[in-house]
Structure 1
Amino acid sequence: MSAERRDAKGIDEQGSGRQRRRRRIWTVVILVVIAFLVAVCWVGLRAITVKDGLVQSQDLIEEIQGGGAVDEVLPELSESAASAGAAASDPVWWVMEWIPVVGDNLKGVRLAAQSLDALVNDVALPVMGDENSTGSITERLLDATDDQAQHVTELADGLESVSKSPFLVSVVREGVDQVEEVMSTAAPMIGVLPKLLGGDGERKYLLVFQNNAETLALGGSAAAQTLVKVDEGAIEIGAQGDSGNYQNGVAVDVDVPPSAIELYTSYLVDHINTSMSRPDFPTAAKIMRAWWQRDIADDEIAGVISIDPLALSRILKATGPIELASGEVLSEENAVSLLLSEVYGRWDSYEEPELVDGFFADTAAAVFDKIATGDFDPKDMLWAISESASQGSVLVWSDDEQVADAIEGAKISGVLPADNSNVTTMGIYFNNSNGSKIDYFTETATTATAVCEADAATFTATASLTLPLTQRQAEALPRYVQSMTFGARFRDWIFIYGPPGTTLSDATFNGDEVSVMHRDVDDLGRPVVAFEAWFDPGDSVDVAATFVGGDGDYGPLEVRTNPMVRGAKPVVTDGCGG
């Protein structure tokens, strides 16, 4: 064969090779495109299932929030949540999440669906139980949270991460933000519940019953205490204490700052009933624990829980009436009046203080025991606890770092915010300083305003207190309800805490027997003004304080105040952060 022919044949073979390679490349490209289109169609069909499941779940959740029976709605909610979660867990879906821009949206939808599925089917459903369930509700709660704590935490972390993506379309962002808000609260709590419920060994908590009839900043006098033992989810009521069991007048060994003693006197640490005077529950909890460990028993106490009759009345909506050891029936309708007023007509607390305090302790223990059995309406209980926590009627403290982190920033921690970044908070507190139980009858109101200008911000808070009784009505009250020292004449100390970073500029009041006790004290990182107000039946007292700050960033204005029997909702006018 000539050289020319060999060259021509080689060229033809090279050309044919290039054509075959091009055909193979195009075949691969076409197959990839087809596979991609199939995957898109597949994910699209799965997305419809996810969307339907999420929408149906949202509708069912709203039905529960609107008053629907949980036991009737939960099975259907379980099915829709499981459908959405399973559809979004498809491996093809996961692969498509790697696509830029679109992938973040797919990931957000998947995490939202899986989170809802986990909360409903892996936590709520096992805790609620059915006719085949065994163990108390707290034991089932321990099992469920112990199994799911890590999974729920991972989902919450993923949601938080994807929520920051700039590529989420509005409808996905809205859904992700809604679920992420729930998970950011649920995940930390689910993470600590196994420890709280004694999953790693017995834990002891001190349950403190506050008395709003003798109001203090955190609720009221610490009338009775009960030790609660939790082991592997099983709850047992232990020893109980009341004011008669303690060495009043002898201070407990708890480190509190000088500002606290200056404002609230040594009574903060040397009289148990006034342990709740400072508006900082960690302070009160450590003091209460020290009282118990010194005068009752040297128990290792993992945390302190506070509750008052206002919270009990809400809880009784969920549990229904409860029969006490005395034969008394406690209900949503009579709890507040019975515990804060009628009880003082039955026994003379000066002569038989142990009877009144014992009645409080028995009541708190009976309600707590009822909750432990799980015999209550879950929807109403969730409302009762959340509403009570928002009003300051349920407070929780623990020296366990994981638990403290889980409740940090929540109102249930009983801690005033340290800065104004998320919310600008003013504290307004009425402290009974005459040893009476008159605050079942007193009426209070609070307001707060914020005005921001070019280079300054001004915050003003007002507090009013009225005793709508006649002199004759006040004098007819049981002597323990009247002032311990002054009879039918009363005295309150009113504390107004300004926002962090501000200074007190003015303090005003009405009445001949109202004065400023302190105006140059900083406490809890805030400027404080304290008023002393004497009042008689029929009188009204008004005080006000103004604070000024720089032109910094201020979150929405908020008021924290006592949970009062007859306290009006704070009125807030926000010209800065709102």
Structure 2
Amino acid sequence: MPPETRRAAREAAERAAAGRSAAPDDHDDSDETQRTSRGRIVGRVILIVVVLLLALAVWLVIKVVIAKNGLESAQEAVTSIQDGGNVSDAIPKLSSGAADAAGAAADPVWRMAELIPGAGDNLRGVRLAAETLDVFANDVGAPVFKMQDDGQGKILARALPLIEAAAPEISKLSSELKGVAASDALIGPVRSGVDQVAEVAGAAGPMFTLLPKLLGAEEKQNYLLVFQNNAEALPLGGSSASQTLITADKGDLEIAGQASSASFVEGETVDLDISESAKALYGSRYGSYINLAPSQPDWPGVAEMVKAFWNRDIDDTHIDGVISVDPIALQRMLLATGPIEVDGKTLDNKNAVKTLLSDVYRWWDPYTDPDLKSDAFFAGVASAVFDKIAGGDFNIKDMAWAVGESIDAGSILAWSEDTDTQKIIAGSGRLSGILPTDNSAETVNGVFFRNVSASKIDYYTKTAVESTMSCADGVTTLTTTATVSLDISQADAEDLPRYVQSRSQRAAYFGTQVYMYAPPGMELASAETTGGASAFRTGNVDLGRVVEPFQARLRPDGSFSVTATFTGTGDFGPLALWTTPMINETKTTVTDTCH
């Protein structure tokens, strides 16, 4: 090849230099293009994320609105029931609202949003409240109401599998609700709803857990139903005149036996440890006559005594629990069951007390009736009401009212041998029949009436109690006056059936006692009486309380009053009054100037 000319060499060098200078320019253009491309991608991603978050937020808002509407619908149904509305109409609305709310809150987006600080606790609270209502309404409530309408009976036996299935979930939700209720982040409406549902779940959860066992899911259970007669008043209600043995086997309830006071041996003390204080206050006959068992105002002790009588004189069946129901409670329950007919007599929610505690003794006087038709009538009434309840033939709302009112009045009492069940009962106030051992929640003043004339005169007895608590200079003073009167003339008293009159004094007078149980920590300061009453068996401490007893001869058209003043130092909660559930409701006046 010929040698390169200078010109050619120069042009080649220029081309090489131009190529070197052009290379960096080409590289800069490419980098800028890449940066622009990446920016566009990031922008698109951000836009997509924003749109997605907005979509999720809108979706969450929709779910919140659905849950809110569902819960409001459920609340309206509950309010309707509470206001006396038709339960059958309200239940579908409650079920539908609870299901809608629970379904909305079960959404994955909702669950993710629960991780957001602050707002998450509110969403979690709404979800848990909705899920709890859903379990109550749709897993248990609605199916049970359908069972009531299908006419097949055996409600408890058929509902038992539902209760067993729901119990673990209710227990879990109750625990979680309790946790979220402790959050400070809950806003007003959410906190109100969470607290309400948590309270219901907290009370129902343990019972749902225990109910299968109580209904005999594991093994047959035996319960003794005591029918107290308030016409012969005793501190916890009245003489324990008749008993019914009920068995529960896989939810199937049956009457296994019945007994009246005539079925038991009188005058022989049962094999039971009776406290010295009870013997001192209630006399040497206490523990040897089953009628007198409800004298000491402590239902667990009375339940043990009634069990001992049954096992000694009737049969050796193992008793798992003892429940007391008096005619006042039964009359309320007849509102829910409707009227019953026994031996041609109709009982309803207006006349049951009169029929059972007055009319029956005019029809059949046990002193002159060798067939004891009155006892047979009581047994028939117990069977008829039991059949209605066991078969589910009653209005649930009205029954809930009747039971609640009766528990608050002391007309229904319960004791269970099962430790877990008894723990729940013991925390249920009057249902337990246990006077509180301290004054932290309430300062409970006990005033109890006791008929010692072996009569049924308390159908006509009127009672009133006025209790006042005051505080000064570190001392708390409690003054209580009880008044007892007999609203019947001498002539009318003499016209009463022999069995209603005093066993020994006929219509002349009726032995009546009043027992005042001071709050724990208080001592007797003074006592006063009018109308021929007097203090007796003084200086005793029973059930951890100082007791001041009084006695009097109550004459037709007569009355008497007794007053006891107790004092103490320390902390005393708000004043409350427990009295004997009387046929003619005791007129009470409670004044607490300390709180």
TM-score (norm 2): 0.90
Q: Distance in 2 between matches of 1:30 and 1:418?
A: 68
**Counterpart of 1:457?**
476
Deviations 1:359-413 (A, max 9, x none): 2222112211111111111111111111111111111111101211232321212
Pick the aligned partner of 2:279 from 231, 253, 261. 261
Greater Rg by CA: 2
Pick the aligned partner of 1:412 from 431, 442, 460. 431
Counterparts in 2 of 1:472 and 1:74: CA distance versus 1, 3 Å: same
Counterparts in 2 of 1:8 and 1:78: CA distance versus 1, 3 Å: same
Question: Structure 1 residues 340-349 or 500-509, which shifts more?
Answer: 500-509
**Counterpart of 1:370?**
388
Counterparts in 2 of 1:227 and 1:19: CA distance versus 1, 3 Å: farther
Q: Note if contact 1:211-1:308 (Cα within 8 Å) is conserved in structure 2.
A: yes
Q: Distance in 2 between matches of 1:127 and 1:315?
A: 19
Q: Does 1:217 align with 2:227?
A: no
Question: 1:423 Cα shift?
Answer: 2.1
Structure 1 SS opposite 2:446: strand
Q: Does 1:162 align with 2:180?
A: yes
Q: Distance in 2 between matches of 1:19 and 1:531?
A: 101
Q: Distance in 1 between matches of 2:348 and 2:272?
A: 38
**Counterpart of 1:563?**
581
Question: 1:37 Cα shift?
Answer: 4.4
**Counterpart of 1:442?**
461
**Counterpart of 2:13?**
none
**Counterpart of 1:504?**
524
Counterparts in 2 of 1:510 and 1:140: CA distance versus 1, 3 Å: same
Pick the aligned partner of 2:328 from 310, 314, 335. 310
Question: 1:561 Cα shift?
Answer: 0.9
**Counterpart of 1:113?**
130
Q: Distance in 2 between matches of 1:140 and 1:355?
A: 36
**Counterpart of 2:103?**
86
User: Any residues of structure 2 matched to 1:27-46 within 5 Å, and which?
Assistant: 35-46=52-63
Q: Note if contact 2:231-2:357 (Cα within 8 Å) is conserved in structure 1.
A: yes
What's the % identity of the aligned pairs?
45
Structure 2 SS opposite 1:68: coil
Counterparts in 2 of 1:337 and 1:100: CA distance versus 1, 3 Å: same
Structure 2 SS opposite 1:349: coil
Q: CA RMSD in A?
A: 2.9
Q: Does 1:480 align with 2:499?
A: yes
Q: Does 1:101 align with 2:121?
A: no
Q: Distance in 2 between matches of 1:446 and 1:32?
A: 73
Structure 2 SS opposite 1:560: strand
Structure 2 SS opposite 1:543: strand
Question: 1:348 Cα shift?
Answer: 2.3
Counterparts in 2 of 1:538 and 1:96: CA distance versus 1, 3 Å: same
What is the identity, as a one-letter code, of the residue corresponding to 2:461? T
Q: Note if contact 1:444-1:464 (Cα within 8 Å) is conserved in structure 2.
A: yes
Q: Does 1:204 align with 2:227?
A: no
Give aligned pairs, total: 574
What is the identity, as a one-letter code, of the residue corresponding to 1:42? W
What is the identity, as a one-letter code, of the residue corresponding to 1:294? R
Question: 1:482 Cα shift?
Answer: 0.9
Q: Distance in 1 between matches of 2:60 and 2:299?
A: 51
Deviations 1:428-451 (A, max 9, x none): 110111111000000111222222
Question: 1:284 Cα shift?
Answer: 0.8
User: Any residues of structure 2 matched to 1:59-208 within 5 Å, and which?
Assistant: 59-130=76-147, 134=152, 136-208=154-226
Structure 2 SS opposite 1:129: helix
Counterparts in 2 of 1:536 and 1:96: CA distance versus 1, 3 Å: same
Q: Distance in 1 between matches of 2:49 and 2:234?
A: 71
Q: Note if contact 1:504-1:519 (Cα within 8 Å) is conserved in structure 2.
A: no
Q: Note if contact 1:409-1:417 (Cα within 8 Å) is conserved in structure 2.
A: no
Q: Distance in 1 between matches of 2:491 and 2:306?
A: 38
Pick the aligned partner of 1:343 from 360, 363, 373. 360
Deviations 1:321-357 (A, max 9, x none): 1122x23222222211111011111222224473322
**Counterpart of 2:5?**
none
**Counterpart of 1:320?**
338
Question: Structure 1 residues 269-278 or 175-184, which shifts more?
Answer: 175-184
Question: Structure 1 residues 151-160 or 355-364, which shifts more?
Answer: 355-364
Counterparts in 2 of 1:51 and 1:530: CA distance versus 1, 3 Å: same
Question: 1:28 Cα shift?
Answer: 7.4
Counterparts in 2 of 1:56 and 1:472: CA distance versus 1, 3 Å: same
Deviations 1:28-87 (A, max 9, x none): 777666555444433322121111111121111111122211112211221111111221
In the alignment, structure 2 segments of 5+ residues that lack a partner are 1-22
Pick the aligned partner of 2:68 from 48, 51, 55. 51
What is the identity, as a one-letter code, of the residue corresponding to 1:70? V
**Counterpart of 2:441?**
422
Question: Structure 1 residues 15-24 or 59-68, which shifts more?
Answer: 15-24
**Counterpart of 1:332?**
349
Pick the aligned partner of 1:468 from 473, 479, 487. 487
Q: Distance in 2 between matches of 1:343 and 1:546?
A: 41
Q: Distance in 1 between matches of 2:61 and 2:124?
A: 14
Structure 2 SS opposite 1:212: strand
Q: Note if contact 1:457-1:550 (Cα within 8 Å) is conserved in structure 2.
A: yes
Question: Structure 1 residues 491-500 or 297-306, which shifts more?
Answer: 491-500
Q: Distance in 2 between matches of 1:15 and 1:446?
A: 96
Q: Note if contact 2:465-2:480 (Cα within 8 Å) is conserved in structure 1.
A: yes
Q: Distance in 2 between matches of 1:158 and 1:24?
A: 44
**Counterpart of 2:563?**
544
What is the identity, as a one-letter code, of the residue corresponding to 2:205? A
In the alignment, structure 1 segments of 5+ residues that lack a partner are 1-5
Q: Distance in 2 between matches of 1:208 and 1:243?
A: 11
Q: Note if contact 2:463-2:587 (Cα within 8 Å) is conserved in structure 1.
A: no
**Counterpart of 2:552?**
533
Pick the aligned partner of 1:493 from 494, 498, 513. 513
Q: Note if contact 2:229-2:240 (Cα within 8 Å) is conserved in structure 1.
A: yes
Counterparts in 2 of 1:33 and 1:492: CA distance versus 1, 3 Å: farther
Q: Distance in 2 between matches of 1:296 and 1:547?
A: 44
Q: Note if contact 1:451-1:574 (Cα within 8 Å) is conserved in structure 2.
A: yes
